[in-house]
Structure 1
Amino acid sequence: MSRTTDSNSKSHSNRSTGRRVRTALVAAGMVCLVTAVAPTAATASTGGPTAAIGGVGVGVGVGVGVERISVATDEGYGAASITPDGRNIVFTSLKNGPRDGGNAVYVRDRRAGQTRTEPLVEGWTPAISGDGRQVAANAPRQGMSAERIQQRSLDLGLLPVTCGRCNQPSLSADGRYLAFGALRSPGLLRDVMVADRDGGFETIASLGSTAPARPSISGDGRLVAYQDLTHLKEGVYLWDRTTGSTSGPLAGSSTSASLIQLSDNGSKVVYLSGSDTYVHDVSSGSAQLVPNVKGVAIDPTGRYLLYAPIDTSGPSLVLRDLQTGADETVSDQPATAETDSVSAGGRDVVFQSAADGIVPGDTNGKPDVFVRRFF
């Protein structure tokens, strides 16, 4: 096992002064916009320098605070992810269920103040490309139990992914590469595959079980992290499509590990082992230990870790600067988050919660999607 360093800072401060922004704003135009949810999102406002909104400190600076992305009152929303520049957020409706062929998928363009539907794309835990122009989601085929992936581009329309039993999509920054898990016959064992939008498929691993592989692809499409829970091979692996080589397993102090996410720049792999979270540095081979927390996501630069404290008496979601050890409270009310939920430089964190009072006027009693901006 590689060298491990212990991150000991456990303070939950709300300071954002001195944090470094590494966000690259993408000026991609959005076309074919359809207003599906009320375009004006609710934002926590304050009457002084700082106020507590639902227990979360909110500053009055421009763009600082908590914003509700989903504002319709007749259904719940969740499974949200954000693009590296923080402009686009993909999420799903919880109104429909698997028997209806999956849940509706939406993309919120925060800069334009509009929400578009993704025609013909339904599913759970959708993925979005870094440029915000492609989405992918997995859901059962109509009237069938077998899952399939739907991928749609604003420019190219619905893209075919010819696999009969595939799920768990992960998109590269430009949407060209789609990593996913696929069940194969005989025995319905699992493969980890990458589809090239320009044509062709590549099998990067053939696993000996049907357990989820949870592939996570880097922004340039070069690296893919995945987990293998096969007996005697349990751990997290990293595949390099340029060299064709696989490294791993990463297993922490335990004999097994489960993957959380590969950072967008391919520099860090976050995984769980036992009750701890590890952040593996791909270049050095060392791993940073973040003890007694459940890692949730990492920002595209690999510097900021979103985690859920195991101690439920404190905040439900916390953002840690892995370089300084400083913590920022994302939400101290019950909340959850997905992978790809932190924008570059830790500037924005998107999460879902059914709690009322996170922003004023949220009284529908249903899960909503929120974004927390730190600076």
Structure 2
Amino acid sequence: MEEWTVKINRCAVKKEKPHTDQLEFGRVFTDHMFVMDYSEPLGWHDARIIPYQPLSIDPSAMIFHYGQSVFEGLKAYQTPEGEIQLFRPEKNLQRLNKSNDRLCIPAVDEAFILEALKQLIYLDKEWIPTAEGTSLYIRPFIISTEPYIGVAPSHQYKFVIILSPVGAYYKEGINPVKIAVENQYVRAVKGGTGEAKTGGNYASSLKAQEICAQKGFAQVLWLDGVEKKYIEEVGSMNVFFKINGKVYTPALNGSILEGVTRNSVIQLLQHWDIPVIEERISMEDLYQAYVDGNLEEAFGTGTAAVISPIGQLSWEGKDLIINDSQTGKLAKSLYTTLTNIQYGKEADPFNWVEKVSKAYAVKQ
């Protein structure tokens, strides 16, 4: 881009905002959106905030045919004092560029995007819900837009950020869920796109999720795509197990997404002097730990739910009932501490919080 500035086009009429008790995840969107385009030789250019609206894209745009796209997910929170803050947004933007590299999409300037994001959030700050557990979900994404159906990296892209007010992920607190260990389908393999946040990973997971939902399970536990032996992720979250006083999580191996919440949980556990071990975890070893009475807790971690306790794992006809299907003390402590930091209710010893100050007030 020649000039790192954002043009502003305010909406003429603001939308009616939903009541807090009517909020669903990802159904309602704010008044404005950020858009930026890429073409050669201009590079990324024409950064602008405009009224939320449909995109006009050629039917031959490469995104529709070859799925060259990436996305991110993070949240903005309002503190009891009325301040707006983000939780580790620089990590999301670093991961966005890592995904860009894997999908052959040109990198974006992370510092500029963070400034543009803050400006967008401040413009639509009235959309940030204030009820307990609510927040403003942020979805940045990049799609390939070149009108061409040859198989090659696109030469044109569109970068968009949309915002959505969302309710509490759990209506009645964090409750353990039932998980089915997936033995037929796989999420990703080393060398594939598993460590990138790209739409195809999620599309390929839908079949297994559909089948397990029909059987009464909330999510699937993914095993590795080669031996179907080692644990990787749970649904679209990273996964942790507390075994005999130590916390284990699958090591990043090229097919596991490096979650921001995962990284935060590891840092928090280390801060609490709780041993954290990142290594390959086989389902057989986990089952043996359960049989020996050493599997104390299990939980997933991610932006949407923060911490999702696992009360039951079903594997090869065996049901592993974890902690009597109750939320464990560690999972509860992690959830409380992380959300308190996110909402500004507790000290942030890690400098994770990024403020959206009044300096981002947008002038017409």
TM-score higher than 0.5 here?
no
Report TM bin, short chain.
under 0.3
Larger helix fraction of residues: 2
- Length-normalised TM-score, structure 1: 0.26
